[in-house]
């Protein structure tokens, strides 16, 4: 909804570009921070989005824009789900109400949205590597701009972050890394002494004094002065601050700095800006700052749907696949002590809260380290356990090599439960789970399934945990039909599909093979064509791999057209698998493959995106009509 009144006269409305902020007096910054938080809360209460992390980074954003001048200076935000204040202060205040809406502002950084967004980001761990690339590009052309990587929310624990840190000193002499520590990412001592020491190390006067000592020692060739100074400083740091990993990698460490103390932040950033070698600035922030419900439960308020800003109450979501998965796995683990659960910083999102509470010794959250999660599970499976790895589809992409090399190659019995498979709405391109089928179905020894409801999910889990090798179950973010799982689910016969509706024509049949959440759409299409010669039959494929070849062979001789429906990328997806299977058998029946096209799918509700890309009953019905007109009917 558009904003008027209060904001029109606020400090925030006076900032149309980063330079406008520097025209304010620093004494006005606290009022600006308050206005930013108010705007973020009000907007996210209508649009949904990442709230707690954005509220925590407001002062840091103001301080960055005070000292640096984007887009000349390059500021990269890891994950970038803490950049709402950045958007407000870099020329997008007037469009902020379009956040996460179709054709509106993204919830993450996007290069085509603003020249200040120099690198797209939606997955953790990219900022330091990309910033190092920008620094090399600057050094090669002898540029003078600053390059800053802002890392937080557990992104520092991601493997690629450590890989990048390992090469910083050997690659460039000028790079600023800011660790935005909101007490839910890296661990560190943030007590009174360490805070005081951090303020000391971050003061401009202290670092100017230090620089003079170094210059004097160099001029008079008194190297012992510099060595003595460094020994004293290192000893102080090692007593009170857990910084060894940075210092041992050759990076100067300053902090922790109170991330909501603007004078301290401004002072510390001045030091970092003037420093002549790579430096890490450790900033301690409070997730959810300025909004009591988010301060009290920062994990719950990390990513939220629309809510009442005054009361903090949210509309209850329907019981979905994630919750059904978590409850079923918890129940199964009571009967099988070999079952473990592994996730990568997604305990709540994947529905594993009940499992973690009831089976804490068999629950493992490895942080944002998806590759490690997969190989960790492989080791457990090789050791005789039955690990279940629960990840979002978009994040499993980062572990596909591990799925092949460490699981499939050894035929180890690991179950992958892939949440958020398909489009995920307003989070947009970085989070749509469209590519798991094309990436995984080419891997040998892997069984892949998709349920149509919670009851089928339970049966597939029982099936998967009885298999001698690896398996995948994928399911969407949107809740399925409200079906109560059976108390004692029966396993499925591997590779067996289920016919849900027979076609209207016996000798010129149209068959729709659909996956899970696309079955309701298949039913709509079949209903629309019910009174025509094209009235299709419907098959719940259930198994993406292996396909039910016996059923397919039986249908093919009298088939006029096959239609596949999937909530995934159509290129290399389930429809392609069915085409390949028919071709391998020598059949020439045409296949109309329907799914998400080979392009970047934007943000928006599932219904909006389906309408935009022709995945509605009306559009599909018309395509079936047109395609069937080009096909000669099979003679009886």
Q: Where are the domains of the chain?
A: 5-296, 321-474, 498-629
pLDDT at residue 22 tops 80: yes
Exactly one of 92, 252, 270, 287 is catalytic; name it: 287
Class of 321-474 per CATH? alpha beta
Q: Map residue 283 onto helix, strand or coil.
A: strand
pLDDT at residue 408 tops 90: yes
Annotated catalytic residue 490: no
| Same fold for the pair 321-474 and 498-629 | yes
Categorize the per-residue pLDDT at 376 as very low, low, confident or very high, splitting at 50, 70 and 90. very high
Q: What is the pLDDT of residue 317?
A: 55
Q: Which range, 103-112, 227-236, 576-585, has the best average confidence (pLDDT)?
A: 576-585
Which tokens is 271 given? 């030091």
**When comparing pLDDT for 187 and 166, which is higher?**
166
Q: What is the pLDDT of residue 634?
A: 46
Q: What is the CATH number of domain 498-629?
A: 3.40.50.920
Helices marked H in 188-279 — which ranges? 192-202, 204-219, 223-240, 244-248, 262-274
Which tokens is 8 given? 């029109």
Q: How many CA atoms lie less than 13 Å away from 435 in the CB half-sphere?
A: 16
Categorize the per-residue pLDDT at 9 as very low, low, confident or very high, splitting at 50, 70 and 90. very low
Categorize the per-residue pLDDT at 595 as very low, low, confident or very high, splitting at 50, 70 and 90. very high
CB 547 within 8 Å of CB 513: no
Distance of alpha carbon 628 from the chain centroid: 40
Q: What is the pLDDT of residue 481?
A: 87
Q: What is the pLDDT of residue 204?
A: 55
- Which phi-psi region, left, alpha or beta, contains residue 514 (left: φ > 0; alpha: ψ -120 to 50)? beta
Mean pLDDT of 138-146: 96
CB 561 within 8 Å of CB 592: yes
Exactly one of 362, 370, 459, 545 is catalytic; name it: 370
Mean pLDDT of 275-297: 90
Q: What is the pLDDT of residue 187?
A: 31
Q: What is the pLDDT of residue 159?
A: 84
Mean residue pLDDT of the chain comes to 88
**When comparing pLDDT for 7 and 548, which is higher?**
548
Q: Map residue 532 onto helix, strand or coil.
A: coil
CA dihedral 93, 97, 101, 107 (to 10 degrees): 50
Which of 5-9, 250-254, 287-291, 325-329 is the least confident region?
5-9
DSSP notation for 317-375: PP--HHHHHHHHHHHHHHH-TTEEEEESS-TTTTT-HHHHHH-GGGEEE--S-HHHHHH
Q: Does domain 5-296 have CATH number 3.30.200.20?
A: no
pLDDT at residue 211 tops 90: no
Annotated catalytic residue 287: yes
Categorize the per-residue pLDDT at 505 as very low, low, confident or very high, splitting at 50, 70 and 90. confident
Give dist(CA 69, CA 121) in Å, integer: 20
Categorize the per-residue pLDDT at 186 as very low, low, confident or very high, splitting at 50, 70 and 90. very low
Nearest to 375 by CA among 393, 357, 398, 353: 398
CB 226 within 8 Å of CB 213: yes
Categorize the per-residue pLDDT at 260 as very low, low, confident or very high, splitting at 50, 70 and 90. very high
Exactly one of 39, 398, 441, 474 is catalytic; name it: 398
Q: What is the pLDDT of residue 213?
A: 52
Categorize the per-residue pLDDT at 298 as very low, low, confident or very high, splitting at 50, 70 and 90. confident
Which of 91-105, 193-207, 304-318, 358-372 is the least confident region?
193-207
Q: What is the pLDDT of residue 253?
A: 85
Report, in angstroms and rounded to the nearest whole number, the Rg of the chain calculated over CA atoms.
28
Three-state SS string across 75-129, please?
EEECCCCCCHHHHHHCCCHHHHHHCCCCCCCCCCECCCCCCCCCCCECCCCCHHH
Annotated catalytic residue 370: yes
Q: What is the pLDDT of residue 262?
A: 93
Q: What does the pLDDT look like over 598-617, one tens digit per residue?
A: 999 999 999 999 999 999 99
Mean pLDDT of 10-15: 84
Q: What does the pLDDT look like over 73-86, one tens digit per residue?
A: 999 999 888 899 99
What are the b/e assignments for 441-463, b being 16+ CB within 10 Å? bebeebbbbbbbbbbbbbbbbbb
Give dist(CA 181, CA 187) in Å, integer: 8
CB 436 within 8 Å of CB 446: no
**When comparing pLDDT for 207 and 28, which is higher?**
28
pLDDT at residue 223 tops 80: no
Give dist(CA 332, CA 353) in Å, integer: 15
pLDDT at residue 90 tops 90: yes
Per the DSSP assignment, residues forming a β-bridge with 36 are none
Non-local CB neighbours of 158 within 8 Å, separated by 6+ positions: 124, 125, 367, 368, 369
Q: What is the pLDDT of residue 196?
A: 43
pTM beyond cutoff 0.75: yes
Cα-based distances in Å from 324 to 129, 383, 481, 493, 518: 38, 28, 12, 22, 19
CA dihedral 341, 342, 345, 346 (to 10 degrees): -50
| Pair type for strands 363-365 and 386-392 | unpaired
Percent of the chain with pLDDT over 90: 68
Q: What does the pLDDT look like over 26-59, one tens digit per residue?
A: 999 999 999 999 999 999 999 999 999 999 999 9
């Amino acid at each position: 909804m558009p904003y008027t009144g209060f904001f029109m006269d606020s400090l925030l409305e006076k900032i149309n570009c980063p330079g406008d902020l520097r025209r304010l007096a620093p004494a006005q910054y606290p009022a600006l921070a308050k206005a930013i938080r108010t705007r973020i809360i009000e907007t996210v209460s209508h649009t949904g989005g990442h709230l707690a992390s954005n509220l925590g980074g407001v002062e840091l954003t103001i301080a960055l824009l005070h000292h640096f001048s984007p887009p000349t200076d390059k500021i990269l935000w890891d994950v970038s789900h803490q950049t709402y204040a950045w958007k407000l202060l870099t020329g997008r205040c007037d469009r902020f109400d379009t956040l996460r809406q179709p054709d509106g502002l993204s919830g993450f950084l996007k290069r085509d949205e603003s020249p200040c967004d120099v690198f797209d980001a939606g997955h953790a761990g990219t900022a330091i590597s990309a910033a190092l690339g920008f620094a090399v590009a600057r050094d090669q052309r002898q540029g003078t701009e600053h390059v800053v990587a802002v890392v937080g929310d557990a992104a520092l624990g991601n493997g690629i972050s450590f890989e990048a840190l390992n090469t910083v000193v050997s690659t460039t002499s000028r790079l600023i890394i800011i660790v935005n520590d909101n007490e839910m990412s890296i661990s560190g001592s943030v007590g009174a002494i360490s805070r005081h020491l951090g303020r000391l190390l971050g003061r401009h006067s202290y670092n100017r004094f230090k620089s003079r000592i170094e210059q004097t020692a160099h001029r008079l060739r008194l190297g012992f002065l510099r060595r003595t100074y460094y020994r004293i400083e290192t000893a102080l740091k090692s007593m009170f601050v857990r910084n060894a990993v940075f210092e041992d990698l050759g990076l100067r460490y300053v902090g922790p700095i109170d991330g909501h103390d603007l004078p301290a932040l401004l002072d510390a950033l001045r030091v970092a800006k003037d420093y002549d070698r790579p430096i890490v600035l450790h900033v301690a922030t409070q997730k959810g700052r300025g909004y009591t419900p988010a301060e009290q439960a920062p994990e719950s308020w990390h990513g939220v749907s629309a809510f009442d800003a005054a009361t903090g109450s949210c509309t209850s979501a329907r019981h979905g696949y994630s919750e059904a998965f978590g409850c079923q796995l918890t129940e199964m683990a009571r009967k099988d002590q070999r079952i473990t659960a592994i996730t990568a910083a997604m305990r709540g999102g994947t529905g594993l809260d009940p499992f973690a509470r009831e089976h804490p010794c068999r629950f493992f959250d490895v942080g944002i380290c998806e590759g490690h999660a997969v190989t960790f599970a492989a080791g457990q499976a090789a050791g005789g356990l039955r690990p279940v790895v629960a990840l979002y589809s978009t994040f499993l992409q980062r572990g596909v090599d591990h799925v092949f090399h460490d699981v499939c190659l050894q035929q180890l019995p690991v179950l992958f439960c892939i949440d958020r498979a398909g489009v995920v709405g307003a989070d947009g391109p970085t989070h749509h789970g469209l590519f798991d089928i094309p990436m995984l179905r080419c891997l040998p020894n892997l069984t892949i399934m998709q349920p149509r409801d919670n009851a089928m999910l339970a049966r597939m889990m029982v099936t998967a945990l009885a298999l001698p090798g690896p398996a995948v179950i994928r399911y969407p973010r949107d809740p399925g039909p409200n079906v109560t799982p059976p108390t004692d689910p029966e396993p499925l016969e591997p590779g067996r599909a289920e016919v849900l509706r027979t076609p209207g024509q016996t000798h010129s049949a149209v068959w729709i093979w659909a996956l899970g959440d696309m079955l309701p759409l298949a039913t709509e299409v079949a209903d629309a064509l019910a009174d025509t010669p094209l009235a299709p039959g419907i098959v719940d494929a259930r198994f993406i791999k292996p396909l039910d070849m016996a059923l397919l062979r039986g249908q093919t001789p009298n088939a006029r057209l096959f239609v596949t429906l999937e909530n995934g990328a159509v290129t290399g997806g389930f429809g392609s698998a069915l085409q390949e299977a028919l071709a391998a058998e020598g059949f020439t029946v045409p296949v109309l493959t329907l799914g998400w096209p080979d392009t970047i799918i934007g943000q928006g509700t599932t219904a909006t995106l389906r309408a935009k890309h022709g995945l509605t009953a009306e559009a599909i019905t018309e395509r079936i009509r047109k395609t069937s007109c080009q096909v000669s009917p099979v003679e009886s």
